[in-house]
Structure 1
Amino acid sequence: MQAGQHLDKVIDSAIARQRIVGAVVLVARDGEIVYRRAAGHADREAGLPMREDALFRLASLTKPMVAATALKLADDETIDLAAPVTEWLPEFRPRLADGSAPDIALHHLLTHTAGLSYGFLEPAGGPYRLARVSDGLDQPGLSMAENLARIAAAPLAYAPGTGWRYSVATDVLGAVLQQASGMPLAQLVQREITGPLRLRETAFGVVEASRLAVPYRDAKPAPLRMGDEEVVPFIGNPAAFAPGRIFDASSFPSGGAGMAGTADEFMRFLLSLRTANRAILRAAEVDRTGPQAATQGPGWGFGYLGAVLADPKAAHSPQSPGTLQWGGAYGHYWFHDPLRDIAVVQLTNTAFEGMSGTFPRDIRNAVYRDFAPTNG
């Protein structure tokens, strides 16, 4: 049997059926790359094929790198994860509906249990939309100070530590890290993560614009090329994109969505969790919310770097307990199964199919059929 034949079929089918425009898919087993493929187009209209070294707007693939930076600073005691955000951002005091302003700890930011939200999770008229909070994907030129003020002006969804909701928490964390270190977030992430791992093309900016994949959005019969400002429906609510934000140096460095990079370099980051950053993986593998949070559906909790699989049977997943996974709004998906020692990076240029459509699920299932057929 040819290695990766099920993966090839999944990728070929998704492109032929125009569910995605282009993709780069990498699979590692036991720390070694066992499958790599670039398929489809980086720019469909120009006829440019996808390249293995294509650059992508990483969206929420930024989060685990910023979280890892925070864990590095916690390890050297620059920050204390139990400390309140107000230790570094004294004006950041969002309130509950009763008017109280409970402490939000850095731990709450890392686990998305702070009571914060995302505008794209709310309908029109939701508090984050009324406050014009940026999700880190839109509003080029918006400053960090202004966005923090907008977040603080919106009510908390629940008391910190009493619920789970995906949110702008990592943007707030990025602001804390800047204050705690006295360095811009971009330089800090470079010092702690991308520099030591030699991730020279992963940054809060684009190193070579000609290699940046053109973003597309879900549509029938085929995905549509995104414009300068694009609104894409997501679970019934509008999500705002401004693809040009990545080129605007005046935009605040979004710890939740602001970086660009390649599939190879993100895989190198994941594989570093097996070796140089093993302590970070041990911290990240712990489910700190419980599977009742259902962060990726039934059976999924959340740790410090992403969702943590607690119950594979409930999740209908071939992955092992302790698997970490998450995605990115521009069309990405990754996971790391520490028991099977499998890591997968799947970057596409199609939102939202590449993140939360059937494509990432099909990729996951094909990986286990091709490279771990004895599992489940």
Structure 2
Amino acid sequence: MMQTKAPEKHGLDRARLDRLAPFLKERYLDTGKLPHAQLLVSRNGEIVHFSSQGAAREGSDKPIDEGSIFRIASMTKPITSVAFMMLVEQGLVALDTPVHDVLPEFRDVGVYNGGGAGVPFVTRPVDAPMRMLDLLRHTSGLTYGFQNRGNVDAAYRAGKTNAGPPENWHGEADLDAFVGDLARLPLEFSPGEAWNYSESTDVLGAVVQRVSGVPLDRYFAEKIFAPLRMHDTGFSVPADKADRLTDCYAWAGPSLGRVMYDRAESSMWLRRPRLLSGGGGLVSTTLDYHRFCLMLANGGELDGARLLGRKTLDLMTMNHLPGKSDLSSLSRSLFSETTNAGVGFGLGFAVTEDVSRAMIPGSAGEFYWGGMFTTAFFVDPVEKLHMVFMTQLSPSLLYPIRRELKTLIYSSLT
């Protein structure tokens, strides 16, 4: 365990905070549910808990440590959203800008009205144009192919029009080709009508690339990672850091259990992908993502480097769902990185609106997200508290570990 500040100084009960590592070990590591677990808790800008447990790679006794690199999947989305809002602050684009103004491929997109599965799609015109706001809050009408709900999802899978799973990131399509393929398929609903977890943030990454005029990975590296000193974050792992990448697993059902999904020594993330996925493509470390959370908690600035203005962060962490509704009433998604009741959605984050309806300890105004490999973070501006959790197991909703960790962490507050 790395050196941390005394929790008592920050209004935390040490004995309760010390329950976190044994809880993870006994419930998730000793039972084989998770391969490893790394947890960071910060309060008032200082790390008060950091624990690492479990082997980094199959067949090796080397444990994960503070240098371990993890695939953060959809925890990429908040970074892409910040990148976009940096362009908004420069006056280069706005939340109400129609997406087709930057990506003309979407100018004639229609809404699904029948057909598919071997029959040509029937579409109707959209009731309102897709705006940048819709990409940020997942009300665009786009979807994910892995949702397996209907003919549009099936068309995503058949055409490999997914920004994920990661096998597609190393295919023939780059961001421009991806946008062109996606825009030829109908939307599931008219923009602004509902919420559906989707490839919206991948499209937003294409917007960032076109508006900035530089490749998305370069924009991230120069405008976000370098200023925040997130030196171990990117779309691939360089050769001199390859030994720090952890194995990644997937749940294959009760009979097979946990199986290898992406072996570190031959990982897809050891080479630059053609499709730079702003929705799920990054690798990072717990300490790097901690710095990203510190920037968010500090109102857009960290150690003299300001990425965003304070009021822009305030705007991002408000509930932007139509009618100020929550996901339980607006969501059409079968998959999400959040529970729904009492939870709104901002510009890149889920936002807790009603703690009693969410039924998990927390604060109104906290914001958070997670990734398909069970990684997670939350930032609570009221308590000046944030968490970063890393492991590597898909799918993310297999175990209630995020809810459990959050409950244990909040129980430590005095």
* TM-score normalised by the chain length of structure 2: 0.81
User: 122, 135, 141: which one pairs with 2:163?
Assistant: 135
User: Pairwise mapping of residues 72-151 of structure 1 onto structure 2 (< 5 A)?
Assistant: 72-93=86-107, 94-97=109-112, 98-101=123-126, 102-123=128-149, 126-136=154-164, 137-139=166-168, 140-141=170-171, 142-151=173-182
Q: Does 1:330 align with 2:373?
A: yes
**Mean Cα displacement is larger for which, 138-147 or 319-328?**
138-147
Q: How big is the shift at 1:349?
A: 1.3
2:78 aligns with 64
* Equivalent-residue separation in structure 1 for 2:392 and 2:66 (angstroms): 13
1:311 aligns with 354
User: What SS does structure 2 have at the residue aligned with 1:297?
Assistant: coil
Q: How big is the shift at 1:305?
A: 2.5
1:127·1:155 contact (CA, 8 Å) conserved in 2?
no
**Structure 1 pair 291/41, CA: closer, same or farther in 2 (3 Å)?**
farther
User: 311, 327, 351: which one pairs with 1:293?
Assistant: 327
* Equivalent-residue separation in structure 2 for 1:306 and 1:182 (angstroms): 26
* Equivalent-residue separation in structure 2 for 1:173 and 1:116 (angstroms): 12
1:305·1:324 contact (CA, 8 Å) conserved in 2?
no
Alignment-mate amino acid for residue 361 of structure 2: P
* Equivalent-residue separation in structure 1 for 2:224 and 2:39 (angstroms): 22
Root-mean-square deviation (CA), in Å? Answer: 2.0
User: Pairwise mapping of residues 152-171 of structure 1 onto structure 2 (< 5 A)?
Assistant: 152-171=183-202
2:399 aligns with 357
1:272 aligns with 295
* TM-score normalised by the chain length of structure 1: 0.89
1:312·1:318 contact (CA, 8 Å) conserved in 2?
yes
Q: How many residues align?
A: 357
2:43 aligns with 29
**CA deviation digits over 1:271-315, x for unaligned, max 9?**
111321444431222011134323532111100121001111111
Q: How big is the shift at 1:66?
A: 0.8
2:42·2:49 contact (CA, 8 Å) conserved in 1?
yes
Q: Does 1:256 align with 2:279?
A: yes
Q: How big is the shift at 1:80?
A: 1.5
**CA deviation digits over 1:104-143, x for unaligned, max 9?**
1111101111111111112485232233212332312332
Q: Does 1:202 align with 2:202?
A: no
**Mean Cα displacement is larger for which, 146-155 or 64-73?**
146-155
Aligned-pair identity (%) = 30
* Equivalent-residue separation in structure 1 for 2:273 and 2:235 (angstroms): 11
2:212 aligns with 181
Q: How big is the shift at 1:8?
A: 1.7
User: Pairwise mapping of residues 35-54 of structure 1 onto structure 2 (< 5 A)?
Assistant: 35-54=49-68
Q: How big is the shift at 1:249?
A: 2.5
User: What SS does structure 1 have at the residue aligned with 2:19?
Assistant: helix
2:225·2:231 contact (CA, 8 Å) conserved in 1?
yes
**Structure 1 pair 108/35, CA: closer, same or farther in 2 (3 Å)?**
same
- Stretches of structure 1 that go unaligned for 5 or more consecutive residues are 229-242
- Stretches of structure 2 that go unaligned for 5 or more consecutive residues are 1-13, 113-122, 302-307, 329-337
* Equivalent-residue separation in structure 2 for 1:30 and 1:356 (angstroms): 32
User: What SS does structure 2 have at the residue aligned with 1:188?
Assistant: helix
**CA deviation digits over 1:237-264, x for unaligned, max 9?**
xxxxxx8442342521100011111011
Alignment-mate amino acid for residue 292 of structure 1: D
**CA deviation digits over 1:140-195, x for unaligned, max 9?**
23322332222112221111111111110111111111111111111112232112
User: What SS does structure 1 have at the residue aligned with 2:344?
Assistant: strand
Q: Which has the larger radius of gyration?
A: 2
Alignment-mate amino acid for residue 284 of structure 2: G
